[in-house]
């Protein structure tokens, strides 16, 4: 079987991949993450995941490359990574007491240009927490580098009232979907 590369520098994605005990290495895709404004949120994450996987695959055409990208959507608005604490506060204010969706695009590109892809959506409802609790959460700095300004794998899980879907999707990589794509590509487990 060809080598597997994760087109990501995300520690959360690497931790999820490590759980498979499948040999792989991680490499930064180094791509522009701006997408056309007319794309839907699911089209955008599909495009970005593909762009990341193809960028790394161009450098290593005999390998399999897994790319992923994630966006948060609440009341029709798309949230990406906040630039600072104030932006994180504004994002979290939109999420607390409401339900939002996390969309993750996953793309697996292999030798000969074979492409397998999918989009996974998980819905989350946050407790309607008070402003002082929100500020204490912001003090933890979990918002840094996080779509939607929280980490469900850490203290941010205390914001979570309900989760419908794949929890690993919220953490950055929908592992049920990833395993399906890897099996379709011929990877063997255990």
The per-residue pLDDT for range 112-130, each reduced to its tens digit, is 989 999 999 999 999 999 9
pLDDT for position 108: 98
- The percent of residues above 90 in pLDDT, for the chain, comes to 88
Q: How confident is the model at residue 95 (pLDDT cuts 50, 70, 90)?
A: very high
pLDDT for position 156: 95
Chain centroid to CA 28: 15
The pLDDT tens digits for 43-74 are 999 999 999 999 999 999 999 999 999 999 99
Tokens 């897994």 sit on residue: 66
Bridge partners of 74, per DSSP, are 77
The pLDDT tens digits for 73-91 are 999 999 988 999 999 999 9
Q: How confident is the model at residue 2 (pLDDT cuts 50, 70, 90)?
A: confident
Question: Structural domains in the chain?
Answer: 4-184 (3.90.950.10)
| Sign of the CA dihedral running 28, 17, 22, 58 | negative
pLDDT for position 34: 86
Rounded to whole angstroms, what are the CA distances from 60 to 18, 41, 108, 175? 21, 29, 13, 24
Q: Is 84 among the residues known to form the active site? A: no
pLDDT for position 35: 87
Catalytic residue among 18, 32, 69, 154: 69
Question: Per the confidence metrics, is the pTM higher than 0.85?
Answer: yes
Is the per-residue pLDDT at 153 higher than 90? no
Is the per-residue pLDDT at 1 higher than 80? no
pLDDT for position 32: 87
Q: Among 68, 62, 64, which residue's Cα sits nearest to residue 25?
A: 64
Tell me if 58 sits within 8 A of 50, measured CB to CB: no
pLDDT for position 159: 97
pLDDT for position 177: 97
pLDDT for position 7: 98
């Amino acid at each position: 079987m060809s080598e597997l590369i994760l087109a990501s520098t995300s520690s959360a994605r690497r931790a999820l991949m490590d759980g498979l005990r499948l040999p792989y290495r991680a490499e930064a895709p180094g791509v522009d993450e701006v997408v056309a404004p007319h794309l839907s949120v699911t089209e955008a994450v599909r495009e970005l995941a593909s762009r990341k996987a193809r960028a790394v695959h161009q450098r290593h055409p005999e390998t399999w490359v897994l790319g992923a990208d994630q966006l948060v959507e609440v009341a029709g608005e798309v949230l990406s990574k906040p630039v600072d604490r104030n932006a994180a506060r504004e994002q979290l204010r939109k999420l607390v007491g409401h339900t939002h969706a996390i969309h993750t695009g996953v793309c697996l590109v292999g030798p000969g240009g074979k492409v397998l892809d999918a989009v996974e959506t998980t819905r989350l409802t946050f407790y309607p927490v008070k402003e002082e609790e929100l500020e204490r959460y912001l003090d933890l700095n979990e918002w840094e580098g996080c779509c939607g300004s929280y980490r469900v794998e850490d203290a941010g899980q205390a914001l979570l009232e309900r989760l419908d879907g794949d929890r690993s999707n919220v953490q950055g990589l929908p592992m049920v979907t990833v395993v399906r794509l890897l099996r379709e590509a011929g990877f063997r487990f255990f």
